[in-house]
Amino acid sequence: MTPFQRRRNPSINRMIQDMQIRNFAASTIDSYTWHVDKFCQHFGKTPEELGLEEIRQYQIYLVNEKRASWSTFNQAVCGLRFLYEVTLGKPWAIQHIPFGKRPKRLPVVLSDQEASRLIQCTENPKHRTVLLTCYAVGLRLAEATHLKVADVDGQRAQIRITSGKGNKERPTKRRPAVRCPPASPRLLDALREYWKLRRPNNYLFPGKTPDVPLSSATIQKACRLSAALAGIKNLVTPHTLRHSYATSMLEAGVDVLTISKLLGHSSFVTTMIYLHVRRQHFERSPSPIDWLPVRQCPQWTERMPESTTSHVADSQTQTDANTSPTVTPPSAVAETSPPSTETQQPPKAQRRSSGRRPRAKRNRRRE
């Protein structure tokens, strides 16, 4: 029995039926009904007895008192919108139940060495193989845990993902070694070694029983423990390996469209966030300090303190005395130089002309 089937509220049961008719994922149904159930428990009333003012008070409670993340806040909004718009048929649901603005953050990415230490510190073979698969193919955690034995095609080096987000199937074809990350050839060998050890029949990573996939919470706990053993201080989740896969592929030269198809994104705009965390993006950008001249300004000595200037002048004089040849005194130069045959005369003073002609020439012209 799934968690949402244990809820006894009649309105929530009808809400479950409405989402099942629309083929919602089981995780989505569980999330929406959980938030609606908490909303009813907060006021101790049924959804029919609650309205816009109670919804507003509950949203303020989530933000101020419970300190819920904006992702949790928006999930509650989605559940309440579906309840009042679809199940109860209230026309005011969409306009008066606002979403919260999520802060935009760059994903946390592991280096190759950190990812290797994380996988090596995972002692359980099943858990280690799940994390290795997430990193080698860029899978979501639910996609990795729901893999079946028949989904792995060793001859064609291909993995078929049937439990993708939104029930989308996406083929992930193994590329040649020159175009793939270094971990890709090791994945099939690791899967074969794991299959020889556990011999699964249906699910590749079964849970308590062979007909149930491995719980996502189990892998999340194992990932946190391995990150602590590996000495990784950042918050690491299995989804961090997916971010690291995309970033490594981008740094290896794979184009964004190909990575978008491998990750199963509906739009390549979602994949473009990894352009901001790749190392080449930052290493190629210069620093303005490299463009500044080093002591090339002609007035740099004038701006220095007097003590520093005198010290520089003394050191320069001492350097010139040590490096320059013997200097001939001026008297010796005067004695040895031949006398000049030309007598130097002072330059004649030029009379300033007023621009008028002499008087004789003027009289002559009149005649």
Give all domains of the chain, ordered by start, each with its CATH number. Answer: 3-96 (1.10.150.130), 112-283 (1.10.443.10)
- Residue 353 has a pLDDT of 54
Does 274 or 282 have the greater pLDDT score? 274
Question: Residues 326-345: pLDDT tens digits?
Answer: 444 444 444 445 555 444 55
The residue to which tokens 């690491």 are assigned: 236
CA 96 to chain centre: 34
Please give the structure tokens belonging to residue 27. Answer: 């995780």
Please give the structure tokens belonging to residue 41. Answer: 């428990």
**Looking at the annotation, which residues are catalytic?**
140, 165, 239, 242, 265, 274
Does 308 or 42 have the greater pLDDT score? 42
Please give the structure tokens belonging to residue 181. Answer: 């990350």
Question: Residues 87-132: pLDDT tens digits?
Answer: 998 877 677 788 888 888 888 889 889 999 999 999 999 999 999 9
Residue percentage of the chain with pLDDT more than 70: 70
Residues 216, 131 contacting (CB under 8 angstroms): no
pLDDT band at 246 (very low <50, low <70, confident <90, very high): confident
| Contacts of 49 by beta carbon, 8 Å cutoff, 6+ apart | none
Residues 112, 98 contacting (CB under 8 angstroms): no
Alpha-carbon dihedral sign for residues 240, 245, 249, 252? positive
User: Residue 56: in which H helix or E strand, if any?
Assistant: helix 52-60
Exposure string for 299-327, b = 16+ CB within 10 A, e = fewer: eeeeeeeeeeeeeeeeeeeeeeeeeeeee
Report pTM.
0.63
Question: Residues 278-329: pLDDT tens digits?
Answer: 776 566 667 787 777 766 555 555 555 555 555 545 555 555 545 444 444 4
- Residue 151 has a pLDDT of 83
Question: Residues 189-231: pLDDT tens digits?
Answer: 899 899 999 899 889 999 988 888 999 999 999 999 999 999 9
User: Residue 160: in which H helix or E strand, if any?
Assistant: strand 158-161
| Mean pLDDT of the residues in the chain | 77
- Residue 251 has a pLDDT of 84
Mean local confidence (pLDDT), 247-265: 82
Going by C-alpha positions, the residue among 109, 116, 111, 108 that lies closest to residue 230 is 116
